[in-house]
Amino acid sequence: MKTMGQSVTIDPAASMSRESARRDIATTIHPYTNLKQHEVEGPMVITQGEGVFVRDENGKTYLEGMAGLWCASLGFSERRLAEAAYRQMLKLPMYHTFLQKATDVGIDLAEKLLSFAPAGMSKVFFVNSGSEANDTAVKLVTYYNNATGRTRKKKIISRAKAYHGVTVAAASLTGLPNNHRGFDLPIAGILHVECPHYYRFGAPGETEEAFATRMANSLEQRILAEGPETVAALIAEPLMGAAGVILPPACYWEKVQSVLERYDVMLIADEVICGFGRTGEMWGSTAFGLRPDMITCAKALSSGYLPIGAVMVSQEIYDALLKESGKTGVFSHGFTYSGHPVPSAVALESLKIYEERDILSHVRRIAPRMQSGLRRFATHPLVGEVRGIGLVGAIELVADKETKASFDVVAGVGAFLISRGHYHGLILRAMGDSIAFCPPLIITEDEIDLMLDRFGLALEDTLTMAQQRGLVAPD
Ligand SMILES: Cc1ncc(COP(=O)(O)O)c(C=O)c1O
């Protein structure tokens, strides 16, 4: 495994059999997968990881340019996290936090997490995933407004293309049509406003700031149309990850927050991707100037090693929970595994590592290598927009640079690039034709260069394919 970075060869010792594929197809329903295609092609079976690399069952290695699912910040072989889990398993492998129970490790984690949190966060509620965090946030908003006697103030605004998860409320907050279609979502009381992507939705001649003003005005109009007394909160990712890494346009957050404040609408920051250093700041909220009332986080909280998430709230919100729960004598919300000691121990160790290794300084030091490297592709004939901050970015592929025309969805251009990336030993992710980059935060400059070199090969293969199929004009 020591040479994972260099090697993309087949390990002869590894089984070449696709027996694993047959067994997987026979047994498992895969998330976010074309189920029909999966029955024909089977899975890529990953069996090992080291640093920023993973290895498949055939011994081929891949640079994991997405940190798994935007989460393995400390890479795929951090022994301290494995040891923290093991120690905790031996000491107290399970306990819960219902009925006034706590664990020592849970208390340590809550204190540590709040010490990382932006100003104004006072209490934390633990969950197991980003979706659960956002579902919990929706329930807390309702509970808060019942406590404060504003019983009509319950609607939550989200944004088109936002990603907030897949449980019933979180999927409703998600602004992607495929998450609603076939599932009879969104549920009542959840609204969507426009996606603030300047490159795609800015009007001809409109400046970025004027676009941000238009977005904020449109939010205000929507609040007024619904009735401010019925609108409780806006939920938003500081930058929109699964939408294709869309950065807020200049002055957007300043303008949006002044609208929210005008109508007493709460801001929930979904920090599930941005949290814990991804942008070069500990929080996306800090990077982009958000002043949230509530924060949801997950993923890098444990470097993705075990499932854990959290909702942090202000003292004002906590006081309302205290009051409302007094009516029944109990705060009737919680998961069996809220604050489970083993993921808590791993999360605590992750936060200690971020601090001890000064992960923020590392990200700030090497992010320019990735951001400038990505921007070198801006002149490529297939590249419409290059965007990013810190160690997260995206390249949007287009059929025509001048008109910004997208490829026909059925052409599957983004998916083709991803498969060529696999061939060249690189795992990335396509959101439509936007190719996302979100490597482990421990990546080195040499590994960034390797990631971009391999991406360059996949991009050239994609151009050749697009030319051969007449999807772009020939040279
Ligand atoms: C911003 C954001 N929120 C919420 C979620 C949902 O998290 P989970 O998949 O852990 O439920 C995700 C997952 O990618 C996310 O990117």
Residue 83 contacts by C-beta under 8 Å, 6 or more apart in sequence?
A: none
Pocket lining: 237 vs ligand 1, CB cutoff 6 Å: yes
Pocket lining: 169 vs ligand 1, CB cutoff 6 Å: no
Pocket lining: 440 vs ligand 1, CB cutoff 6 Å: no
pLDDT over 80 (residue 169): yes
Q: Tell me, in angstroms, the distance from the centre of ligand 1 to residue 466's CA.
A: 32
Which tens digit of pLDDT belongs to each residue from 38-74?
999 999 999 999 999 999 999 999 999 999 999 999 9
Q: Write the secondary structure of 331-372 as one string of H (helix), E (strand) and C (coil).
A: CCCCCCCCCCHHHHHHHHHHHHHHHHCCHHHHHHHHHHHHHH
Predicted confidence at residue 18, as pLDDT, reads 84
Residue 119 contacts by C-beta under 8 Å, 6 or more apart in sequence?
A: none
Predicted confidence at residue 17, as pLDDT, reads 55
Mutate to test the pocket of ligand 1, among 299, 308, 335, 431 (most ligand atoms within 8 A of CB): 299
Say if CB 106 and CB 97 are below 8 A apart: yes
Predicted confidence at residue 67, as pLDDT, reads 98
What span, in angstroms and rounded, lies between the C-alpha atoms of 168 and 128?
15
DSSP 406-428: PPPGGG-HHHHHHHHHHHTTEE-
- 229 secondary structure, DSSP code: G
Q: For the residues 420-447, what does the mean pLDDT come to?
A: 98
Which tens digit of pLDDT belongs to each residue from 298-343?
999 999 999 999 999 999 999 999 999 999 999 999 999 999 999 9
Helix axis angle, 413-423 relative to 445-468, nearest 10°? Answer: 130
pLDDT over 90 (residue 16): no
Query: Scanning the structure block, which residue is given the tokens 């579902």?
Result: 135
Atom number in ligand 1 closest to CA 128? 10
Determine the number of helices (DSSP H) and then strands (DSSP E) in the chain: 17, 15
Pocket lining: 129 vs ligand 1, CB cutoff 6 Å: yes
Predicted confidence at residue 8, as pLDDT, reads 35
Q: Tell me, in angstroms, the distance from the centre of ligand 1 to residue 303's CA.
A: 14
Residue 204 contacts by C-beta under 8 Å, 6 or more apart in sequence?
A: none
Say if CB 178 and CB 143 are below 8 A apart: no
Q: In what order do the strands lie in the sheet with 383-389?
A: 383-389, 392-397, 434-437, 429-431
Nearest CA to 166 out of 304, 32, 305, 338 is that of: 32
Say if CB 196 and CB 252 are below 8 A apart: yes
pLDDT over 90 (residue 4): no
For ligand 1, atom 13: residue with the closest CA: 165
- 101 or 5: which carries more pLDDT confidence? 101
Q: Nearest 5°: CA angle at 466, between 461 and 468?
A: 95
What span, in angstroms and rounded, lies between the C-alpha atoms of 294 and 317?
8
Which tens digit of pLDDT belongs to each residue from 377-420?
999 999 999 999 999 999 999 999 999 999 999 999 999 999 99
Predicted confidence at residue 7, as pLDDT, reads 37
Nearest CA to 85 out of 346, 315, 445, 459 is that of: 346
Widest Cα–Cα separation across the chain = 72
pLDDT over 90 (residue 290): yes
What span, in angstroms and rounded, lies between the C-alpha atoms of 103 and 348?
13
Of 117-121, 128-132, 230-234, 456-460, where does mean pLDDT reach its minimum? 117-121
Pocket lining: 212 vs ligand 1, CB cutoff 6 Å: no
Q: Tell me, in angstroms, the distance from the centre of ligand 1 to residue 147's CA.
A: 28
Pocket lining: 273 vs ligand 1, CB cutoff 6 Å: yes
- Tokens representing 214 are 């238009």
pLDDT over 80 (residue 27): yes
Atom number in ligand 1 closest to CA 240? 1
Positive or negative, the Cα torsion across 202, 206, 211, 217? negative
Mean pLDDT of the chain: 95
Q: Which helix (H) or strand (E) holds 12?
A: none
- Rounded to the nearest angstrom, the gap between the alpha carbon of residue 350 and the centroid of all alpha carbons in its chain is 18
Which tens digit of pLDDT belongs to each residue from 59-69?
999 999 999 99
Which tens digit of pLDDT belongs to each residue from 96-153?
999 999 999 999 999 999 999 998 999 999 999 999 999 999 999 999 999 999 999 9
